[in-house]
Amino acid sequence: MKLLYFAWVRQKIGKGEEDVKPPAGVATVRDLIRHLTALGPGYADAFADLSRLRAAVNQEHAGFDAPIGDDDEIAFFPPVTGG
Amino acid sequence: MKTRIKIQTAPFDLGPELEEMSQGAGALATFTGHVRGEDGIETLMLEHYPGMAEREIARHIDDAARRWPLLGVTVIHRVGELKPGERIVLVAVAASHRREAFAACEFLMDHLKTTAAFWKQEQRGTETRWVEAKASDDNAAKRWK
How large is the average pLDDT for residues B81-101?
97
Contact A81 B112 (CB under 8 A): no
Q: State the pTM of this model.
A: 0.95
Domain parsing of chain A, residue ranges: 7-77
The beta strand positions in chain B, using DSSP E, are: 2-8, 27-34, 43-48, 70-78, 80-82, 87-95, 118-124, 127-130
Q: Which CATH number fits domain A7-77: 3.30.450.20, 3.40.50.920, 3.20.170.30, 3.10.20.30?
A: 3.10.20.30
CA angle, residues B143, A83, A44, in degrees to nearest 5: 95
Domain parsing of chain B, residue ranges: 2-142
- Give the pLDDT confidence score for residue A76 in this predicted structure: 98
Flag whether residue B51 sits within 8 Å of chain A, measured between CB atoms. yes
Of the candidates A6, A79, A81, the beta carbon closest to that of B49 is on A6
Question: Each residue of A68-81: b (16+ CB within 10 Å) or e?
Answer: beeebbbbbbbbbb
B2-142: CATH architecture: Alpha-Beta Complex (3.90)
Element (H, E) at B62: helix B52-67
| pLDDT tens track, chain A, 83 positions | 999 999 999 999 999 999 999 999 999 999 999 999 999 999 999 999 999 999 999 999 999 999 999 999 999 999 999 99
Here the ipTM equals: 0.95
